[in-house]
């Protein structure tokens, strides 16, 4: 939207958000959930807080409803939802992967498509099944065509996923930088870099070669892809040494623990960078911070409830729950 009357200051949206932030779950609430005796008790506490709906007890449905509530709310308060594409593109590319697999294997599972992307899942599915890639945006059409061709030729689903994932990271980074907002740009850079690190670690552990890394690692402004590739080829310790001189120095310890610990560290790093958004009265930054905060709390609640269902001790859950924004 290039309408000059569009409110570029986001004053209305940010003020609305300040009130909505009061309803975000804080650390004490997470603790209360962890301490709940049973999953049912925890769900009851969440419902009292307005989560899910009264008529459904299904947990997946509850998480789906919360994500939908978040996006409906953001759509309601901002003039142009496309500014927040960094958070939505992942769903598009996941749908693309699902559609490619469904098309090549000639089966279709309607439930595998994610909502809240920038494009309707149906559109991606149709474009892939009829091979009319032109209907997709450029960032997606080229890779869709290429991945489809590679998948058909090699039958290698993993290779196809890697190609699409890289295109996804590139699209996220581009969308982040395009907004011109420093916080959203930083988020996109951190997300790309964190995904690259995860890929490099996995590639290193499974002994992948340089060609694989070149194909999988996306360009990032805060991490040299060349440096990461060389480190990944030399071994896990080299990755640690390489990261020690970057923004991810603190993550080296976490990487040694587990991939889950690293992911938590990355989420917490972003939450930490979000702190300054508490004091911003204008711009899309505070809205982006709210989206991340809501997505993180949904993630944390999912971890707690899954842990409770499987009888994990409270201490284990505490280690996995993300820091809260409020």
Partner 1 sequence: MELGLFLAVLGAGLAAGFAGAGSAIGVGIAGRSAAGVVTQEPSMFSKVLILQLLPGTQGIYGLLIGFIVLSQVGILGGEIPSLSKGLIYFAACMPMAIGGFLSGISQGQCSSSAIGLVAKRPDQFGKAMIFPAMVETYAILALLISILSIFGIPASI
Q: Does 145 bind partner 1 (CB under 8 A)?
A: no
Can you tell me which of 11, 205, 244, 249 binds partner 1, judged by CB under 8 A?
11
Q: Does 22 bind partner 1 (CB under 8 A)?
A: yes
Tokens of 241: 């040494």
Q: Does 21 bind partner 1 (CB under 8 A)?
A: yes
Q: How far is CA 205 from the centre of its chain?
A: 24
* 9/154 with CB nearer partner 1: 9
- In whole angstroms, how close is the CB of 30 to partner 1 at the nearest point? 20
Q: Does 16 bind partner 1 (CB under 8 A)?
A: yes
Rounded distance, CA 70 to CA 291, Å? 7
Can you tell me which of 6, 9, 235, 309 binds partner 1, judged by CB under 8 A?
9
Can you tell me which of 7, 57, 272, 319 binds partner 1, judged by CB under 8 A?
7
- In whole angstroms, how close is the CB of 19 to partner 1 at the nearest point? 4
Whether residue 247 contacts residue 193, with contact meaning beta carbons closer than 8 Å, is answered with yes
Q: Does 15 bind partner 1 (CB under 8 A)?
A: yes
Instruction: Please report, as residue ranges, which positions from 69 to 98 form the binding site for partner 1 (by CB under 8 A).
Output: 77
Whether residue 273 contacts residue 183, with contact meaning beta carbons closer than 8 Å, is answered with yes
DSSP 80-102: -GGGGGGGTHHHHHHHHHHHHHH
Q: Does 18 bind partner 1 (CB under 8 A)?
A: yes
Rounded distance, CA 124 to CA 109, Å? 14
- In whole angstroms, how close is the CB of 12 to partner 1 at the nearest point? 4
Rounded distance, CA 218 to CA 220, Å? 6
Instruction: Please report, as residue ranges, which positions from 264 to 303 form the binding site for partner 1 (by CB under 8 A).
Output: 279, 281-282
* 6/249 with CB nearer partner 1: 6
Backbone φ, ψ for residue 198 (5° rounding): -60, -45
C-alpha distances (whole Å) from 167 to each of 93, 146, 151, 183, 242 are: 8, 11, 16, 22, 24
Rounded distance, CA 84 to CA 63, Å? 20
Q: Which stretch binds partner 1 (CB under 8 A): 17-25, 106-114, 135-143, 220-228?
A: 17-25
Half-sphere exposure of 298 (CA within 13 A, CB side): 21
Q: Which stretch binds partner 1 (CB under 8 A): 9-17, 87-95, 120-128, 208-216?
A: 9-17
- In whole angstroms, how close is the CB of 230 to partner 1 at the nearest point? 47
Closest listed residue to residue 39, CA positions, set 67, 58, 64, 23: 58
* 284/307 with CB nearer partner 1: 284
Rounded distance, CA 325 to CA 288, Å? 12
* 262/290 with CB nearer partner 1: 290
Binding site for partner 1 (CB under 8 A): 7, 9, 11-22, 77, 279, 281-282
């Amino acid at each position: 939207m290039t309408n000059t009357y569009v409110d570029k200051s986001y004053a209305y949206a940010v003020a609305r958000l300040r009130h909505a932030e009061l309803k975000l779950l804080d650390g004490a609430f997470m603790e209360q959930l962890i301490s709940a005796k049973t999953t049912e008790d925890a769900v009851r506490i969440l419902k009292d807080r307005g989560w899910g709906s009264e008529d459904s007890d299904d947990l997946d449905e509850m998480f789906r409803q919360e994500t939908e509530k978040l996006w409906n709310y953001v759509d309601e308060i901002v003039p142009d939802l496309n500014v927040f594409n960094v958070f939505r593109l992942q769903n598009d590319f996941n749908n693309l992967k699902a559609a490619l697999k469904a098309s090549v294997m000639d089966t279709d599972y309607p439930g595998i498509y994610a909502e809240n992307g920038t494009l309707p899942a149906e559109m991606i599915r149709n474009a892939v099944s009829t091979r009319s890639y032109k209907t997709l945006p450029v960032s997606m059409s080229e890779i869709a065509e290429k991945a489809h061709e590679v998948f058909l030729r090699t039958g290698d689903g993993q290779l196809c996923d890697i190609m699409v994932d890289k295109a996804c990271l590139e699209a996220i980074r581009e969308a982040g930088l395009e907004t011109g907002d420093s916080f959203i740009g930083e988020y996109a850079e951190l997300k790309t870099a964190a995904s690259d690190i995860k890929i490099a670690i996995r590639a290193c552990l499974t002994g992948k070669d340089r060609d694989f890394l070149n194909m999988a690692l996306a360009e990032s402004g805060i991490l040299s892809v060349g440096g990461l590739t060389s480190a990944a080829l030399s071994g896990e310790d080299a990755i640690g040494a390489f990261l020690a001189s970057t923004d991810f120095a603190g993550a080296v310890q976490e990487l040694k623990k587990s991939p889950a610990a690293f992911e938590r560290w990355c989420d917490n790093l972003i939450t930490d960078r979000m702190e300054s958004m508490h004091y911003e009265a204008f711009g899309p930054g505070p809205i982006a911070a709210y989206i991340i905060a809501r997505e993180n709390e949904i993630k944390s609640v999912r971890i707690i409830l899954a842990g409770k269902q499987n009888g994990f001790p409270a201490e284990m859950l505490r280690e996995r729950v993300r820091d809260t924004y409020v």
